[in-house]
């Protein structure tokens, strides 16, 4: 990363700032964000927690937000029944719905100046691309959930339609659940076209005591998209956050998750599955920071790297002094499906207190020869057997999807990513 990129970033910001909406982010905060980012510099491969990310794309990316597109929407994934769907095109709300009882969904494009003052809850260098979003965001979805909302469903679809020549897309979401509120959110990132595209999303999750958020995040961006993503979450006492991420799309994908468990007995379950093929890179950094007693984290990752792809998961669990009685489990597994494929798994554990129970395991390997032969010996064709075993490998994550309709969509999406899987489809 060179100084020239930062100069260009500043220049692009300078040219774009007058047109950026203050109700989404206050103008002063935008300028602060760009200065903070330039002071730190863009992420670089020499940094430990960025080394598996394909960052080359930032060198030539155009940061200016894409102009709003008026084109008709391409076919989108089938809507989930019972969910209110909101569609954002290149980071701006295109179509909304009637919010469920107890839920307010607002596009901050039509908000007031007081709305535009929040940022993501992380000072970490791993989360600094959120500052890029803060500087350039063109809209934000602000979802507030009151305690009377019990099990409502919201679907957010972010479509990247513009090519990188015309500009980047900045999805931005704030999800705030009041005490005792429950919500299921399905967040999809999709794309169209063959043009290179830059997407940089930022999501902030705030859970008040005893709130419960189930959050599915599906990244199925178009083949030449660079998808950068930052999510922060704060969990108050007894709050529960079930986050399940599936990444199959984009050319280069990097997601940073920083969860802070600040209240007693807060629970985080982070499950992620990633498929890499061709020259894709799928990278995730997830930090779970335990700041209160009896908090728990379960991290589950399953990744398959085929062809020349790279799939990385860097999962860190930090247990601070005040977090006695923490219970954390990490299970990271990678499957190599190609001589030039790469899997990078890093389980990290940092414990500053006694009386904790933390387990972790990480394994990477090829398909199990014994399993493969067992299936062949039953007459199953080799390519079907391989697909079955890959499928089975992802099951630890996929089985956690509690919405049957979504699960089916994801299963078919995953199968579709496995080439020549027609025979396997018949089994589902």
Partner 1 sequence: MLTIENLHATVDGKEILKGLELTVPEGEVHAVMGPNGSGKSTLAHVLAGRPGYAITAGTVRFKGRDLLALSPEERAREGLFLGFQYPVEIPGVNNVYLLKAAVNAARKHRGLPEVDAFEFLTLVREKMRLMRMDESMLSRGVNEGFSGGEKKRNEILQMLVLEPALAVLDETDSGLDIDALKVVASGVNTLRAPNRSLVLVTHYQRLLEHIVPDRVHVLVNGRIVRSGDRTLALELEQRGYDWLIGEAA
Q: Please state the φ and ψ torsions of residue 261, each to the nearest 5 degrees.
A: -95, 95
Nearest CB to partner 1, comparing residues 198 and 394: 394
Give whichever of 86 and 391 is closer to partner 1, judged by the CB atom: 391
Return d(Cα 376, Cα 266) in angstroms, integer: 46
Q: How far is the CB of 391 from partner 1 (least distance, A)?
A: 7
**Which residues on adjacent β-strands are paired with residue 65?**
168
Positive or negative torsion for Cα 287, 256, 51, 123: negative
Q: Which is nearer to partner 1, 60 or 425 (CB)?
A: 425
Sheet holding 267-276: strands in order across? 92-95, 84-89, 152-160, 182-191, 212-220, 240-247, 267-276, 296-306, 327-337, 357-365
Cα–Cα distance, 119 to 132 (Å, whole number)? 11
Q: How far is the CB of 220 from partner 1 (least distance, A)?
A: 22
C-alpha span between 318 and 200 (Å, rounded): 26
DSSP result, 7-22: HHHHHHHHHHGGGS-T
* Residue 425 Cα distances to 72, 220, 380, 428, angstroms: 31, 19, 14, 5
Looking at the Cβ atoms of 121 and 423, the one nearer to partner 1 is 423
Question: Shortest approach of partner 1 to residue 337 CB, angstroms?
Answer: 16
**Shortest Cβ distance from residue 374 to partner 1 (Å)?**
5
- Contact between 216 and 406 (Cβ < 8 Å): yes
Among residues 231 and 398, whose Cβ is nearest to partner 1?
Answer: 398
- The smaller minimum CB distance to partner 1, of residues 85 and 302, is found at 302
- Torsion (CA) 15, 18, 20, 24 in degrees, nearest 10: 140
In the complex, minimum distance from the CB of residue 394 to partner 1, in angstroms, rounded to a whole number: 8
Q: How far is the CB of 399 from partner 1 (least distance, A)?
A: 8
Query: Residue 399 contacts by C-beta under 8 Å, 6 or more apart in sequence?
Result: none
69: which residues sit within 8 A by CB, 6+ positions away? 89, 90, 161, 162
Q: Which CB sits closer to partner 1, 305 or 394?
A: 394
Q: How far is the CB of 276 from partner 1 (least distance, A)?
A: 19
Compute the least distance from the CB of residue 315 to partner 1, in Å. 22
Question: What tokens were used for 225?
Answer: 């998209």
**For binding to partner 1 (CB under 8 A), which residues are involved?**
368-371, 373-382, 384, 388-389, 391-396, 423, 427
The distance of closest approach from Cβ of residue 368 to partner 1 in the complex, given in angstroms and rounded to an integer, is 7
Q: Radius of gyration of the chain from Cα atoms?
A: 21
For partner 1, which is the closer residue by CB, 5 or 367? 367
**Residue 235 φ then ψ, to 5°:** -115, 115
Give 344 or 383: the residue with its C-beta nearer to partner 1: 383
The residue to which tokens 């057997």 are assigned:
385
| 3-class secondary-structure state, position 236 | coil
- 56 vs 408, beta carbon nearer partner 1: 408
Residues 248/275, Cβ–Cβ less than 8 Å: yes
Which CB, 67 or 363, lies closer to partner 1?
363
CB of 377 to partner 1, least distance (A): 5
The whole-angstrom separation of Cα 337 and Cα 304 is 7
Q: Min. distance of Cβ 428 from partner 1 in angstroms?
A: 9
């Amino acid at each position: 990363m060179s100084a020239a990129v930062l100069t260009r970033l500043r220049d692009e910001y300078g040219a774009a700032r007058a047109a950026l909406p203050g109700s989404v982010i206050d103008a002063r905060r935008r300028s602060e964000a760009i200065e903070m980012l330039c002071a730190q510099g863009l992420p670089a491969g020499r940094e430990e927690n960025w080394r598996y990310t394909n960052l080359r794309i930032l060198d030539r990316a155009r940061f200016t937000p894409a102009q709003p597109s008026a084109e008709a929407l391409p076919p989108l994934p089938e809507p989930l029944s019972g969910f209110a769907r909101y569609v954002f095109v290149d980071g701006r709300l295109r179509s909304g719905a009637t919010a469920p009882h107890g839920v307010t969904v607002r596009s901050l494009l039509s908000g007031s100046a007081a709305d535009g003052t929040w940022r993501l809850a992380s000072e970490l260098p791993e989360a600094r691309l959120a500052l890029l979003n803060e500087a350039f965001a063109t809209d934000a979805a602000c979802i507030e959930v009151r305690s009377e909302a019990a099990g409502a469903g919201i679907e957010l679809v972010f479509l990247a339609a513009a090519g990188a020549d015309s500009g980047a897309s900045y999805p931005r979401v704030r999800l705030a659940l009041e005490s005792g509120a429950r919500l299921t959110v399905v967040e999809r990132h999709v794309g169209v076209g063959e043009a290179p595209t830059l997407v940089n999303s930022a999501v902030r999750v705030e859970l008040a005591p005893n709130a419960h958020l189930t959050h599915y995040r599906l990244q199925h961006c178009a083949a030449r998209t660079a998808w950068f993503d930052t999510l922060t979450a704060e969990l108050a006492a007894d709050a529960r956050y079930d986050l399940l991420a599936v990444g199959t799309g984009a050319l280069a994908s990097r997601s940073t998750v920083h969860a802070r468990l600040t209240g007693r007995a807060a629970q985080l379950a982070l499950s992620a599955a990633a498929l890499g093929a061709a020259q894709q890179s799928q990278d995730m950094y997830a930090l779970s920071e335990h700041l209160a007693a009896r908090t728990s984290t379960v991290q589950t990752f399953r990744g398959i790297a085929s062809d020349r792809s790279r799939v990385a998961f860097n999962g860190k669990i930090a247990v601070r002094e005040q977090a006695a009685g923490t219970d954390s489990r990490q299970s990271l597994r990678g499957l190599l499906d190609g001589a030039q494929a790469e899997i990078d798994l890093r389980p990290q554990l940092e414990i500053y207190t006694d009386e904790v129970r933390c387990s972790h395991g990480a394994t990477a390997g090829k398909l199990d020869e014994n399993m493969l032969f067992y299936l062949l010996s039953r007459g199953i064709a080799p390519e079907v057997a391989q697909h079955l075993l890959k499928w089975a490998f992802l099951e630890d994550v996929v089985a956690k999807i509690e919405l049957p309709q979504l699960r089916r969509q994801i299963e078919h999406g995953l199968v579709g990513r496995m080439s020549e899987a027609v025979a396997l489809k018949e089994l589902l």
